[in-house]
Amino acid sequence: GQNIDQPTEMTATEGAIVQINCTYQTSGFNGLFWYQQHAGEAPTFLSYNVLDGLEETGRFSSFLSRSKGYSYLLLKELQMKDSASYLCAVRDFPLYSSASKIIFGSGTRLSIRP
Amino acid sequence: DVKVTQSSRYLVKRTGEKVFLECVQDMDHENMFWYRQDPGLGLRLIYFSYDVKMKEKGDIPEGYSVSREKKERFSLILESASTNQTSMYLCASSKRTNTEAFFGQGTRLTVV
C-alpha cells in the first residue's frame, strides 16, 4: 500500500523561513509533488522532485531523499499570502499496474502571523 | 494554459438520486483523476483513468463509478447518493508520467 505523512498544522512569522516535512511509503515511487491550496480553491502545483536533491523555484525549495522516503518544502521570506495548506503528493506506479496514480497526504495548514 | 473544467461549482441532491459530475480537460492528457476532499482527511483518490475506456479503482471507490468515453472527458457517477457522499469533489488531469496534475475548480456536493 501507500502512506504519506505530514504535520497537520504549522505557524510561522512573516519574513521568516519554514520547513514542512513529508514522509512517504509507496510500492512504485515515480516522483513527489508539492501543491499549495488556499481555502475554498483548487490545489496549485509548486514543485516536482523525481531525483534526490534540492529543487529551487523562487522563494520555494523542495528536497527529496528517495532512500529515506523523505521530502521537505522550504518557504523563505514568508508573506501573509503564503497562509494556505501545503499538500505532499506521490506518483505511485506499482509493477502490477497499468498506470500511475497520484496519492496525496492530508496536507499541512500553514498560518503566517505578522 | 491547461484548463480542467468541472461542470458545476455547487450541487445539492437528494438521497438516492443518481448524480453525474463531469470533468473536461483541453490538453490531450492521458491520465484523469477524481478525488474527494474532506476536512482532516485530505484528498482521497476515488478512481482514475489512463486512457479512453480504461479505469482503475483508487482508495475509496465504493458507491462510485466512472466513465471515460472520450479522452478529454471523465465523469464521476454516484449511483445512489447518500449523505456521507457530501464532500468537495476535485477532478485532475496529467500526462502519462513525470509531470504534475492540474486541477479543476472543484464541485461542492451536498446530499440531503
Q: Across residues A4-28, what is the average pLDDT?
A: 96
Mean pLDDT for all residues in chain A? 94
- Pick A106's closest partner by Cβ from B41, B90, B96: B41
Chain A residues near residue B101 by CB distance under 8 angstroms: 33, 45, 89, 102
Is the Cβ–Cβ distance between B105 and B92 less than 8 Å? no
Q: What does the pLDDT look like over A56-78, one tens digit per residue?
A: 999 999 999 999 999 999 999 99
The 3 state secondary structure assigned to B26-95 is: CCCCCEEEEEEEECCCEEEEEEEEEECCEEEECCCCCCEEEEEEECCEEEEEECCCCHHHCEEEEEEEEC
- Would you call A99 and B56 a contact, using CB atoms and an 8 Å cutoff? yes
- Pick A87's closest partner by Cβ from B42, B48, B104: B42
Chain B residues near residue A49 by CB distance under 8 angstroms: none
Is the Cβ–Cβ distance between B105 and A50 less than 8 Å? no
Res. A95 pLDDT band, cuts 50 70 90 = confident
**Positions of chain B with pLDDT lower than 70, given as ranges:** 1-2, 98
The answer on pLDDT for A1 being more than 70 is no
- Would you call B100 and A107 a contact, using CB atoms and an 8 Å cutoff? no
Q: For residue B41, what pLDDT is reported?
A: 87
Is the Cβ–Cβ distance between A111 and A83 less than 8 Å? yes
- Would you call B90 and A43 a contact, using CB atoms and an 8 Å cutoff? yes
Q: For residue B64, what pLDDT is reported?
A: 98
